[in-house]
C-alpha cells in the first residue's frame, strides 16, 4: 500500500547535523516504490504566532478577512502536509534540554482547534489519527527520557494531543562524548523499528 512520509528537519546545522543524517536514513529504510516523501526544512523561516494569528484562527472560516486568510496561509500549508502524511519522521536535536525554537514554532502553527484537535466534554481530542511517527533525537549529553529531557516527552505529548499516538523514538545519545558511537546506537535502534512502517 502506498504511503506518504513527512520528514521534518529542525536542526540549525545542515551538513553536520546528526538528526538530518539519521532522519534521511530512517526514511530511506521505510520508503517503498510509489511512496511519496514530503520534506519540510524548518531552517526556512517558520513565523511565530502572534495576536493577529490567534484572532484569525478563532474566527470562523467564512468570516475571515483576506488579511486573516493570508496570516493563516503557512499554518494551512503545514497542516495540509501533516494531514497528507501516513508516517512522520521528525528530526529533533535537543537544544538546551528542549526542542529547537523552529520546531516549537511548527507545533504552534499546526495545533489549531477545530482543525487538528477539538475540545470536548471529555477533554481534548486529536483529529489526526491513524498515523505513525518517529522522533529522531540527538543529545550532546542529556539522556533521552531522563528528567532533564524536555524535548522527547514534549513531542510525544504534542503528537498525542493532535491524535498521533503510535510514536517510536530513535535516539543518538552522548554525541558530545562519542559522536560515532551515538550514531551507531541510533542506527541499531532503527533496525527493529523500520519493519513496522515498511
Query: Phi and psi dihedrals of 33, rounded to 5?
Result: -55, 135
Q: pLDDT 10s per residue in the chain (198 long)?
A: 899 999 999 999 999 999 999 999 999 999 999 999 999 999 987 999 999 999 999 999 999 999 999 999 999 999 999 999 999 999 999 999 999 999 999 999 999 999 999 999 999 999 999 999 999 999 999 999 999 999 999 999 999 999 999 999 999 999 999 999 999 999 999 987 755 444
The dihedral over CA atoms of 9, 10, 14, 15, expressed in degrees to the nearest 10, equals -60
Cβ atoms < 10 Å from Cβ of 113? 12
The per-residue pLDDT for 194 is: 58
In contact, 92 and 139? CB cutoff 8 Å: no
Determine whether 59 is exposed, middle or buried from the number of CB atoms within 10 Å of its CB (0-12, 13-18, 19+): middle
The per-residue pLDDT for 134 is: 97
In whole angstroms, give the CA distance from residue 191 to residue 173: 17
Which three three-digit cell numbers place residue 71?
496570516
Amino acid at each position: 500500500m502506498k504511503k506518504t512520509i513527512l520528514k521534518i528537519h529542525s536542526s540549525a546545522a545542515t551538513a553536520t547535523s546528526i538528526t538530518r543524517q539519521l532522519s534521511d536514513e530512517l526514511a530511506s529504510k521505510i520508503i517503498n516504490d510509489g511512496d511519496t516523501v514530503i520534506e519540510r526544512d524548518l531552517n526556512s523561516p517558520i513565523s511565530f504566532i502572534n495576536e493577529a494569528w490567534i484572532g484569525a484562527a478563532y474566527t470562523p472560516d467564512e468570516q475571515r478577512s483576506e488579511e486573516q486568510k493570508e496570516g493563516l496561509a503557512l499554518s494551512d500549508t503545514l497542516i495540509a502536509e501533516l494531514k497528507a502524511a501516513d508516517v512522520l519522521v521528525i528530526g529533533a536535536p535537543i537544544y538546551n534540554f528542549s526542542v529547537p525554537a523552529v520546531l516549537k514554532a511548527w507545533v504552534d502553527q499546526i495545533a489549531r482547534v477545530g482543525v487538528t484537535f477539538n475540545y470536548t466534554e471529555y477533554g481534548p481530542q486529536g483529529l489526526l489519527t491513524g498515523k505513525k511517527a518517529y522522533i529522531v533525537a540527538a543529545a550532546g549529553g542529556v539522556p533521552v527520557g531522563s528528567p532533564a529531557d524536555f524535548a522527547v516527552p514534549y513531542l510525544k505529548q504534542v503528537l498525542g494531543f493532535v491524535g498521533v499516538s503510535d510514536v517510536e523514538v530513535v535516539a543518538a545519545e552522548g554525541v558530545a562524548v562519542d559522536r560515532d558511537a551515538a550514531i551507531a546506537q541510533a542506527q541499531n535502534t532503527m533496525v527493529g523499528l523500520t519493519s513496522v512502517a515498511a
